[in-house]
């Protein structure tokens, strides 16, 4: 997913000052919070390609035991 996301960011960069600052704040939080960063790294090690997983889930071709990981990622992504 990293390559696709980077390509998307290059082709469609943020232009809103508010959105840029929001992303900078998120990066700063991850940089400064070693515990949070470590937790996210451990969770992501268990995840393969999130976009590919989402496609499999949409077409009901994914094992049910992976749904718990997807739920955890969603919870992390919605933290403020």
Non-local CB neighbours of 1 within 8 Å, separated by 6+ positions = 49, 50, 51, 52
- Binning pLDDT at 50, 70 and 90, where does residue 14 land? very high
Q: pTM for the full model? A: 0.51
- Whether 28 is in a domain gets the answer no
SS percent in the chain: helix, strand, coil, step 5: 75, 0, 25
- Whether 44 is in a domain gets the answer yes
- Whether 63 is in a domain gets the answer yes
Range of the domain at 69: 36-80
Mean pLDDT rounded to a whole number for the chain: 80
- Whether 48 is in a domain gets the answer yes
Q: Any idea which residue has 């600052």 for tokens?
A: 21
Structure tokens at 56: 């499999």
The domain tally of the chain equals 1
- Whether 5 is in a domain gets the answer no
Q: Any idea which residue has 């992303």 for tokens?
A: 23
Q: What percent of the chain has pLDDT over 70?
A: 74
């Amino acid at each position: 997913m990293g390559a696709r996301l980077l390509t998307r960011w290059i082709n469609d960069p943020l232009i809103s000052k508010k959105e840029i600052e929001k992303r900078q704040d998120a990066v700063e939080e991850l940089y400064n919070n070693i515990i949070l960063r470590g937790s996210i790294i451990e969770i992501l090690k268990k995840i393969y390609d999130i976009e590919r997983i989402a496609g499999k889930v949409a077409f009901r071709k994914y094992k049910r035991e992976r749904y718990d990981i997807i739920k955890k990622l969603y919870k992390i992504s919605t933290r403020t």
